Amino acid sequence: MSADLDPQERAEHILRALPIAKARFESCAALSNNGQLSPELQALESRWKDAYRVRQRRSMVQDPGEQDGLVKLIFDTEELTARLCGQPSGDDALLLQLANSAHGVR
């Protein structure tokens, strides 16, 4: 999800990563104490609600700022859920590795 990619290709990568990270967030949130989200998870939940409004807009392809914001949300989700709910596997582990990479867009 590097900013060096063609904007259309980067948008496609982001759109594929969003549901993976969102599912990880929902899984982690479901494990929280009696349905009470921590303040960190509450903040992330709010950002996810905003992201799905942005995601529907075609302007994301033409707006690197929106793309950067969504990449940050994906990476923040993977980092927080790894800390609160344990290390991920599969695609989530790959996204976390990207988040931890010095080459990740922040």
Rg (alpha carbons) of the chain, rounded to whole number: 14
For CA atoms 44, 45, 46, 48, give the dihedral sign: positive
For residue 87, with 0-12 CB atoms within 10 Å meaning exposed, 13-18 middle and 19 or more buried, which class applies? exposed
Residue 56 has a pLDDT of 55
Containing H/E element for 49? helix 39-55
Position 61, amino acid = V
Confidence of residue 24 (pLDDT cuts 50, 70, 90): very high
The pTM of this model reads 0.86
pLDDT digits (tens, 9 = 90+) for 46-73: 999 888 776 555 667 778 888 899 999 9
- Between CA 98 and CA 23 the distance in angstroms is 17
What is the model's pLDDT at position 57? 55
Tokens of residue 98, six digits: 């990207």
Please give the pLDDT value at position 99.
93
Lowest mean pLDDT among 2-6, 23-27, 92-96: 2-6
Specify the higher pLDDT residue, 7 or 78. 78
Please state the length of the chain.
Answer: 106
Task: Look at residue 28 and tell me whether its pLDDT is greater than 80.
Answer: yes
Report whether 69 contacts 92 (CB < 8 A).
Answer: no
